[in-house]
Amino acid sequence: MSRSIAYTSSPLLASPTPVWRSKFIVAVIALSFAGLVGRAVYIQVIENEFFQRQGEVRFARTLALPASRGRILDRNGIVLASSIPVPSIWAIPEDVPRDPAGLKKLAKLLDLPLAELNKKLEDEDKTFVWLKRQVDESVGNEIAALGLKGVYQRKEYKRQYPEGEAAAHVVGFTNVEDQGQEGMELTFNKALGGRDGSRRVIKDRMGRVVEDVREQIAPVDGRDLQLSIDSKVQFFAYQTLKEAVLAHKAKAGSVVVLDVQTGEVLALANYPSFVPDKRRNLSGAQLRNRALTDTFEPGSTMKPFIIAAALNQGMVTPESKIQTAPGRMSIGSATISDTHPNGLLSVTEVIQKSSNVGTVKIAMQMAPRKMWEMYSQVGFGQKPELPFPGAVSGRLRPYKSWRPIEQATMSYGYGVSVSLFQLAHAYTIFGRDGDLVPVTMFKMNAPAVGVPVIEARHARDVRHMLHLVTGPGGTAQKAQAMGYSVGGKTGTAHKVEGKGYADKKYRGVFAGLAPIDAPRIAVAVMIDEPSNGQYYGGLTAAPVFSQTVQQTLRVLGIAPDQSVVPQVITDAVEESF
């Protein structure tokens, strides 16, 4: 039986409570609430922006929504460069288990040494590290199948180049961040790249998106770029050039193909080259766009411009006679000579036989200013108006500083330097009846309007001379093309070495037109330092011209203008240089 306790009669309740203690307790509670209110006001009103920023730093992220980079197309719509989505592998190092077996499998799939993988996981940021960017889709699937904690994937765009090394110097390439580094990729990086979008989100510590903070900004994809290049012409030109460089054991080579009617660049190839999406151990020699960046003394390929200037000034006619005997002449202390003594030659034969003496005798009748104007009007000494990084202007000194011997040597291509592209462009005046066509890397739908340089009849006269160069008695019989009439000029020049010229190092050059009566293309070829015993332009560069012309005109649908029976003579006449 329980006892009832009278709590109200407890002596503790009966004892009086000090008034100060109850006031103190009430004051403490009031101050606590006041502190809480003050802290809330400080956080939510006074320092609201600061604390919001701190929260965003820890949890809010702006995710880039990458724009798809525009494609680069050839004139027929064939893809030269495009982007495809691929996985990139990243990790949160502190979350990745240090399981030796799992890491070994991961390193093998990433094609990384295990030590390098461990270094990435140990030395880098503990919350994020790229393990490998832009891996194959199959590799990404295999990595996902491993199920490793802390290892994640992100979609990125990878650039592909279907034409490979053949079009590498034209198209260029991008880096892993999808930024253009060379060629068209670099020049038109902004237009091709478009504009990335963005998405503001809240993430948890595992990197997972919890919620979107604001409306996302959609990406704007880059625009496509359609070039004037014909991928078939480019491939044939590159392959022919490559075979010639290897056959002659040369250091390098270049070829340029221009449409005479529109000024379009149909092909621009160099060897050695590179594969744009496989760039390990690349050298500067492979990356250089030699047709635009390298200059050289063009040798006898300059002679047609001297003859054109003399014809245009009324100094000579194609039938005018020039005495070249005994095959040499002196200017001051210097002696200029021909490879073979030719005796009395007509102006036409001066080009056909490539006579240095005949060319110099004509040039020395000309005022230096007139000769300089001719060279300048066809683009020598001026940077080509092409959207390529590194294109050079060459060297053409002011005529007022020329000495007689310098004027003489410049008439046959020494003392002046040009790029192969400049040479090909200059030869369009002979294919267009005297006017220089503006060049372009983009597809045109109509013939271009050129700038007059010489009279049409004189251009046709020189064109006839160029045609004779490729026939019997000419220096470039190996330039003949099956089914098509051609014309052009050889050039062979010693290479500059130190302060003089190398005795046994040459560049073989050929520049010409086809078909000769109604030219459609201008082609220039340069073989740098052939070393198998043949070095004349008529033996090294002219055959490349021949094959390039045949393939190009067939691709363009130009009907043959002569019998398809080959007329090539195996023993070419050596040109003077």
Q: What is the pLDDT of residues 265-304, one digit of tens each?
A: 999 999 999 999 887 777 888 899 999 999 999 999 999 9
Measure the CA–CA gap between 238 and 168, rounded to whole angstroms: 10
Mean pLDDT of 214-226: 84
Using 50, 70 and 90 to split pLDDT, how confident is the model at 203? low
Give the long-range contacts of residues 345-348, CB within 8 A, separation 24 or more: 345/321, 346/318, 346/319, 346/320, 346/321, 346/322, 347/307, 347/310, 347/311, 347/316, 347/317, 347/318, 347/319, 347/320, 347/322, 347/465, 348/318, 348/319, 348/461, 348/464, 348/465, 348/468
Domain 63-226 has CATH 2.40.40.20: no
pLDDT digits (tens, 9 = 90+) for 441-470: 999 988 899 999 999 999 999 999 999 999
CATH fold for domain 231-275+289-555: Beta-lactamase (3.40.710)
Can 63-226 and 231-275+289-555 be said to share one CATH topology?
no
Are 317 and 509 in contact by the 8 Å Cβ rule? The answer is no
The ranges assigned to domains in the chain are 63-226, 231-275+289-555
Measure the CA–CA gap between 402 and 372, rounded to whole angstroms: 10
pLDDT digits (tens, 9 = 90+) for 360-401: 999 999 999 999 999 999 999 999 988 887 899 999 999 999
Tokens of 419: 């790029």
User: 5-19, 24-38, 124-138 — which is least confidently predicted?
Assistant: 5-19
pLDDT at 347 over 90: yes
- pLDDT for the residue numbered 268: 97
For 260, 341, 406, 428, 441, the CA distances from 438, given in Å and listed in that order, are 10, 40, 30, 10, 11
Are 387 and 268 in contact by the 8 Å Cβ rule? The answer is no
Catalytic residues, by residue number, are 300
User: 386-390, 411-415, 556-560 — which is least confidently predicted?
Assistant: 386-390
- pLDDT for the residue numbered 570: 47
pTM over 0.75: yes
